[in-house]
Amino acid sequence: MIEQTEIILPSFGRGFHLISNIIQDHLQNLPEKGILNLFINHTSAGITINENADPQVRTDLETVFNKLVPDGLKDYLHTAEGSDDMPAHVKSTLTGHSVTIPIRDHRLGLGTWQGIYLCEFRNRGGRRKISATIIY
């Protein structure tokens, strides 16, 4: 069986944001076992799983991504939407647009130190949509 729903996130500023609780709040009636796929419906934001305890990890990830793919390089051709737009597309390619999480005992099967992140790469990305598909 397959179930699908859309989760609309609140607007977040640029950075890596822990959204595990938002996802879990929207998916309260999980099956005993299965698979959850989360797909972000945007090209300038990403989704990933990483450290959920120390907020410095999120700050460090932002630092690394900004050093790897800086805003405003003169070599960018796609600049009509601002200096953060093309870098956001590159960064979302690096993080990816989906994660798959096992469902065990009606709960997300994340590891002890794992959390789901929204990776917001625009200065003002707005509300982001995530398609949640449960297969069981």
Domain boundaries, the chain: 14-135
Residue type, 75: D
The C-alpha atoms of residue 68 and residue 88 are separated, in whole angstroms, by: 12
Query: How close are the terminal C-alpha atoms of the chain, in Å?
Result: 5
| In contact, 89 and 59? CB cutoff 8 Å | no
Report the C-alpha gap between 39 and 9 in whole angstroms. Answer: 13
Give the residue-averaged pLDDT of 106-118.
Answer: 98
Instruction: Output the CA torsion sign for 123, 95, 135, 110.
Output: negative
Length of the chain: 136
pLDDT recorded at residue 38? 99
At 133, give phi and psi (nearest 5°): -120, 125
Model confidence, pTM: 0.96
In whole numbers, what is the pLDDT of the chain averaged over residues?
Answer: 97
User: pLDDT tens across 52-95, in order?
Assistant: 999 999 999 999 999 999 999 999 999 999 999 999 999 999 99
Q: What is the pLDDT of residue 79?
A: 93
Tokens at residue 3, please? 């179930």
For residue range 19-36, list pLDDT tens digits in order.
999 999 999 999 999 999
Domain 14-135 fold? Jelly Rolls (2.60.120)
User: For 107-123, what is the mean pLDDT?
Assistant: 98
